[in-house]
Structure 1
Amino acid sequence: MDHKQIQIPRRQFLRQAAAAMAVPLLPAAAARAAADKGYPDAPIKVIVPFSPGGPTDLMARTIGKPLGLDLKQPVIVYNKPGGGGAIALGETRNAAADGYTLAFPSIQAVTNPALRSDFPFDMEHDFTGITVVGYIAHVMVVKADFAAKDLKEFVAMAKASPHPYAYGSSGNGSSGNLAMEMFKDRAGIALTHVPYRGSGPAVQDLLSGQIQTMFLDTTTAIPLLQAKKLRALAVAPAKRSMVLPDVPTIAEQGYPGFDIHAWYGLLARSGTPAPIIDTLYRATRDALRDPGVLKTFHSLGIEPGGNTPQEFNALIRADLRSWSSVINKLGLKIS
């Protein structure tokens, strides 16, 4: 199969990745000292690899306050977009392994190693998981007046169309892009990818009829579904979303095994002492039980996480392998 080149400026990515790797590593002795004198005794930095206002940023800021209250230190969120997440991950990887600099990546952290041949990190060994903070389902949507009322009708219409339908995404290599590539492969339909810089412009073109469909995260989709501007055809996870319980899954509609779950979680540099990881895990787990956090998450279409560090690390390993298999099968690469 010919590789489908996802066009992202290679020189820009390499420049950003190199910058992320340029900071010299701090000695592990700093981490041991932090553990010995009582953690934490200084503010904690959480680095989000996306711009302010998106789902990841909102999630990080929502848990930041109760997390800080529990740890008795400020939790400060910094936005460091760029390099497919390499900037944020690089700053965490090159900080001391003392629990004061954490990364807050999305599932993109486990898809990029397969998509980008020059991705500069070993996600299994350079980082250690603390916990998944939240899951956001992706929902396949069409304009509210689109003729197809369910996935079966959409597939039939796509196959009958003399020209391929166009689908949008928030960018090359995004979860929405990968989800639709997986779906069109399973459904045996031709769809033309139109990448945008963010979901906002893509939604505008969907509403105007310039594109016919896309996968949206529930945070973005729910207000548009409630306003009856869009209609949901299916959700991508294997199980129905708790925030869209009436929308059937893709697997339910004739594609068994289809399962895309988008997680967002906290990572520390590998080598961070286990007591510090445990402190961060327990504080985050408790923050995720806070009624205010749960209310905000539900309003944003976010399902709370809270798995153990061991479970999160196992998820990272499993997703690295499964996404590598899928991406290689589909022939998707970023160049």
Structure 2
Amino acid sequence: MTIPLLPRSPALRRRQIVLGGLAAVAAPWVRAQGDAPIRLVVPFTPGTGIDMIARQIGPGLTSRLNRPVFVDNKPGASGNIGTQEVARATPDGSTLLVSVNTLVMNAALYPGLPFNPMTDLAPVSLTSWGQLILVASLKSKIDSLQGLIARAKKEPGALNYGSPGAGTPHHLAMELLKNRAHVSLTHISYRGTAPAVTDMLGGQIDVMFLPIHVALQQVKAGKLKALAISSDKANPLLPDVPPLSTLNVGNLNVDMWYGVLAPAGTPKPVIDRLNKALDEILKDPAIKTAFEVQGMTPAHDTPDEFGRLMAADAKRWAELIKAQGITAQ
């Protein structure tokens, strides 16, 4: 005997449509489990802070997602080459970007970019915060933050400062200090951090912002003078170095954020699973220690929170770049 099928209710039909849609969205991710590797694109050279982050979180992603993970360094054009590659990648969770706040600075520095970091990338999670330290060469005879400002006001443009390139956080941090303190220093741009540090040790550069892990050894050895830290409070690695905020000239927090992003259009279930895995990884005490040795503080947030941070930072730096007349040249 044939049993007639009962007609489906409208509510049941809607539920089946929703579940079917979610299954279709998640299908590429499910098919990829234990199959295709995840590529962590680092748009800078090996050995940088961003590269370190990628190599620290990679094994944790492998164990939690059951997929091989590898780091792919794609340096060039201030991070734009590797970033563009991710922006154009298939949005299935197999290609991710590990980047720094240079990402949103570049949007204002390079108006002709073939991608928009705010619309062509999907925030996954913040991974950490990193501080910059303002250092002076011994030859400059600058021994304090207040002494630097006093000299710069007395002799406009006479002091110089270095950076690893136009538009880098090191460069824009100093431009923000100049803007807030109403002083003039001459910018000297280098191709990377190493040659700038070499010239600073030789006394050719007066002052410079450097990541803590780059400057720490030279400061501890007495070869560079630490003037100030970029965050609102002292860092345990250099507890006696005052924050820039002690100048009382407005917001001078120039901490760098680091995070993971995916191509725009990556399904929400994929983003959420990656976010959850990163949350677990960043809570690992071993990861915390590895980050802190590099002068970074592990941090995690939701994709929406990370997106809001990016938007606020993009606006802040775009306004500074315009006010200071900064170009990428």
- Provide the rounded CA distance (Å) in 1 between the counterparts of 2:63 and 2:37: 11
CA contact (8 A) 1:48 1:78 kept: yes
Identity of paired residues, percent?
38
Matches of 1:284 and 1:222, distance apart in 2: 28
Report the residue type matching 2:150 in the other structure.
A
Question: Which residue number corresponds to residue 313 of structure 2?
Answer: 319
The match for 1:206 is 200
Work out whether 1:260 is the aligned partner of 2:254.
yes
> Aligned to 1:330, which of 318, 324, 329?
324
Taking the TM superposition and a 5 Å limit, the aligned residue runs for 1:84-233 are 84-144=78-138, 146-161=140-155, 164-233=158-227
Q: Does 1:304 align with 2:298?
A: yes
Q: What is the distance in 1 between the residues matched to 2:135 and 2:245?
A: 16
Corresponding position: 1:63 with 2:57:
yes
Which AA in structure 1 matches 2:279? R
1:83 is aligned to 77
2:137–2:207: 8 Å Cα contact kept in structure 1? yes
Q: Which amino acid aligns with 1:178?
A: L
- Quickly say closer, same or farther: Cα 1:38–1:211, change in 2 above 3 A: closer
For the structure 1 residues 114 and 40, does the alpha-carbon distance in structure 2 shift closer, same or farther, using more than 3 Å as the test? farther
Q: TM-score, normalised by structure 1?
A: 0.86
Distance 2:236 2:279 in 1: 19
1:50 aligns with 2:44: yes
CA shift digits 1:277-327 (9 cap, x unpaired): 111111111111222211211111111121111110111111111111111
Deviation at 1:39, TM superposition (A): 4.3
User: How big is each residue's C-alpha offset from its partner over 1:4-41, in whole Å with a ceiling of 9 and x where there is no partner?
Assistant: xxxxxxxxxxxxxxxxxxxxxxxxx9965313547464
Q: Provide the rounded CA distance (Å) in 2 between the counterparts of 1:324 and 1:95.
A: 27
Q: How far 1:138 moved relative to its partner? A: 0.9
Contact 2:156–2:184 at 8 Å: present in 1 too?
Answer: no
Q: Which runs of 5+ in 1 are unaligned?
A: 1-28
Superimposed CA distance per residue, residues 240-278 of structure 1 (whole angstroms, 9 cap, x where no aligned partner): 335434321111223232121211110001111111111
Aligned CA distance change for structure 1 residues 153 and 299 (closer, same or farther; 3 Å):
same
In the TM superposition, residue 62 of structure 1 has moved relative to its aligned partner by: 1.6
Report the CA distance between 1:79 and its aligned residue: 0.4
Secondary structure of 1:194's aligned partner? strand
Distance change in 2, residues 1:77/1:38 (3 Å): closer
| CA distance in structure 2 between the partners assigned to 1:167 and 1:80 by the alignment | 28
Cα deviations across residues 204-241 of structure 1 (Å, max 9, x unaligned)? 11111111000001121122222222121112233433
Structure 1 pair 31–169 and aligned structure 2 pair: CA distance change class (3 A): farther
CA distance in 1, matches of 2:139, 2:200: 11
Q: Residue 248 of structure 1: which of 229, 234, 242 is its match?
A: 242
Length-normalised TM-score, structure 2:
0.87
Return 220-229 or 172-181, whichever deviates more.
220-229
Distance in structure 2 (CA, Å) of the matches to 1:141 and 1:192? 16
Which structure would you say has the larger Rg? 2
Letter in 2 for 1:137: Q
Q: Indicate conservation of the 8 Å contact 1:240/1:249, yes or no.
A: yes
User: In 2 relative to 1, CA 31–194 (structure 1 residues): closer, same or farther, beyond 3 Å?
Assistant: farther
Higher relative contact order (CA 8 A, sep 6+): 1
Distance 1:285 1:69, change over 3 A: same
Give, in angstroms, the shift of residue 144 of structure 1: 4.5
Contact 2:26 2:269 in 1 (8 A): no
Q: Structure 1 pair 240/119, CA: closer, same or farther in 2 (3 Å)?
A: farther
Cα displacement string for residues 46-82 of structure 1 (whole angstroms, at most 9, x for unaligned residues): 0000011111111111221222222222210000011
The amino acid across from 1:257 in the alignment is: N
Whole-Å separation in 1 of the counterparts to 2:24 and 2:199: 51
2:33–2:67 Cα contact (<8 Å) kept: no
**Which amino acid in the other structure matches residue 68 of structure 2?**
P
CA contact (8 A) 1:238 1:260 kept: no
Q: Is the 8 A contact 1:129 1:309 kept in 2?
A: yes
- Two-structure CA RMSD over aligned residues (Å): 2.0
- Preserved CA contact (<8 Å) 1:65 1:75: yes
8 Å Cα contact 2:138/2:203 also seen in 1: no
Q: Given that residues 137 and 205 in structure 2 are in contact (C-alpha distance below 8 angstroms), is that contact kept between their aligned partners in structure 1? A: no
The whole-number CA distance in structure 1 between the counterparts of 2:250 and 2:34 is 46
